[in-house]
Amino acid sequence: MSAIDQRFVELKKQGRKAFIPFITAGDPSLHMTALLLERLDQAGAAIGEIGIPYSDPIADGPVIQASYTRALKAGVKLDDIFACIRSTKPKVTMPLVSMVSYAIMHRRGIERYVADAQAAGLAGAIVPDLLVEEAETVRQICQAADFSLIQLVTPTTTRERMLRIAETSSGFIYFVSVTGITGERNELPPGLLDQVAWLRERTPVPICIGFGISRPEHVRLLAPVADGLIVGSALVRRYAEAPNETAALDQVEALARELMAAI
């Protein structure tokens, strides 16, 4: 079992749902990335999601796209990110996963990426642009290493395809709550709860919902049918707009605690 599998076993025994915050590696600096991970862990986050900056993100909205651009302009490299995670992981108890483009994994080589990521302290990877038709080789490499391969389903994914994605996913399934890109939203689409509940009955893999979650009412609505909730843009915006490092950490922690209290 990967560290992600173990965390969900622990949460189930405790009757808890996972709160999974997303931050961008290297925005505004790798030093700040480490501090944010430590603060979110101390606040009680179950799993930490770290975005690997990429010039052509698939589904990220303006807030996260801007954070990727800032990190890339600052010269952040993959090996720098791994080094940051390696030095930070001993200070946090939550498992860490990367949100990484398949193009980045392919360029490095899948086996090497998984090995390097594990050596840094990562327990899995969310790969938004990996097609299920091309996932088998990646799945086998990840399975052999006890490294979670987390894939996405969306509101427009057919039910047959959802089941195929579930069969090749491990750790958890990332259920995209809305059609479109990441970002804060006032409302979540009707029918989402039914879709998640349908899939929940047909797979043992935990299901975590992300995209558009930014308010306690979103959390209260979705928590009954999900194993975890993923929050990205709302947190990234908090630290991006903060006037200084202390304020950024405090504001991110405050929002995280507010959302966790609603689970």
Catalytic residues: 49, 60
Q: How far does the chain reach from its first CA to its final CA, in angstroms?
A: 26
Q: How many helices (H) and strands (E) does the chain have?
A: 12, 9
Q: What angle do CA 253, 175, 95 make, to 5 degrees?
A: 45
Instruction: Provide the Cα torsion 67, 165, 207, 106; round to 10°.
Output: -30
CA pair distance 92, 43, nearest whole angstrom: 11
Q: Specify burial of residue 244 (Cβ count, 10 A radius: 0-12, 13-18, 19+).
A: exposed
| Sheet containing 122-126, strands listed edge to edge, beginning at the edge strand earlier in sequence | 148-150, 122-126, 96-99, 48-51, 18-24, 228-231, 207-210, 173-176, 152-153
